[in-house]
Structure 1
Amino acid sequence: MARTTPLMLQIATGDARPIVRQIVDGVRMKIAAGELKPGDQLPSVRGLAQQLTINPNTVAKAYTELTTEGWLESRQGMGLYVAAPRQRLSDAERERRLDDAIGRFVNDVIPLDFPADEVESRVAHELRRWSSRRIA
């Protein structure tokens, strides 16, 4: 029987993103970074809700979205598990999401008035850091 993998997520009350989005983003990042591996069992809806002291419906919505997108798979009577890697989104949807993310990033960064080369250097550094986490 698989053991449930602890899901160490941080919910920030000051974050502009809804709690559902914070959970979805957190689980995606843990899977992308290799902290959660295919076959790992996630905490139950009730268990994660208690851990985060939030409404179980919020966790259920996040888990449903992650399952619909293919990040998680439900095993009847056994719980939720990290799904095997596959392309979860169409190429067009991936492009759209990348464009949206870059647009939000640029709108947040431009008012900070950093030189473009410094912004590019920091972004490249973070991408390398995340890339090395996936490999390790």
Structure 2
Amino acid sequence: MELSRADGHPYQALAADIVGKIESGELQEGDQIESVRTLSKAYGVTNATAQKAVKQLTQDGYAKTVPGLGIFVTGRSERAPADEASNPIDEIHQQLDALQATVSGLAQRLERLESVSPEKS
């Protein structure tokens, strides 16, 4: 799918298209959104543009990135009202949540590796 130049910046047009799919019910809470690489190919944009669109979706509360698993549609309660400006404190909280999820995932992977690897004497 090609993005219309009338939609503003390409990342905004991509994010708006995904929001439209969420609002129409085509994508529902818990559904996985395509990867950045798949989005960039499908929409004919760079990976950086697709990544920026995903960042916009997460900032607006439409999606949540789970490190190692993917990008998922969030529930309505997690979305900011359309007229509410993005709050820097909320962005920091989202980044902290993502970091905590990453650290937790890494700790689990380390535990699995340590349980499989023989102890060195």
User: What's 1:103 paired with?
Assistant: none
User: What CA distance in whole angstroms lies between the structure 2 residues aligned with 1:50 and 1:92?
Assistant: 31
Matched, 1:65 2:51: no
User: What CA distance in whole angstroms lies between the structure 2 residues aligned with 1:90 and 1:28?
Assistant: 13
Q: Deviations over 1:78-135 (max 9, x none)?
A: 00010122152258628xxxxxxxxxxxxxxxxxxxxxxxxxxxxxxxxxxxxxxxxx
Matched, 1:50 2:41: yes
Counterpart residue identity of residue 13, structure 2: Q
Matched, 1:79 2:95: no
User: What's 2:28 paired with?
Assistant: 37
TM-score (norm: length of structure 1): 0.56
Deviation at 1:67, TM superposition (A): 0.6
User: What CA distance in whole angstroms lies between the structure 2 residues aligned with 1:16 and 1:83?
Assistant: 24
Residues 15 and 75 (structure 1), Cα distance of their counterparts in 2 relative to 1, 3 Å cut: same
Identity %: 27
> What secondary structure does 2:33 align onto?
coil
After TM superposition, the structure 1 = structure 2 runs for residues 1-136 of structure 1, keeping only pairs within 5 Å, are 10-12=2-4, 14-86=5-77, 88-90=79-81, 93=84
User: What CA distance in whole angstroms lies between the structure 2 residues aligned with 1:91 and 1:44?
Assistant: 25
Unpaired segments ≥5 residues, structure 2: 86-121
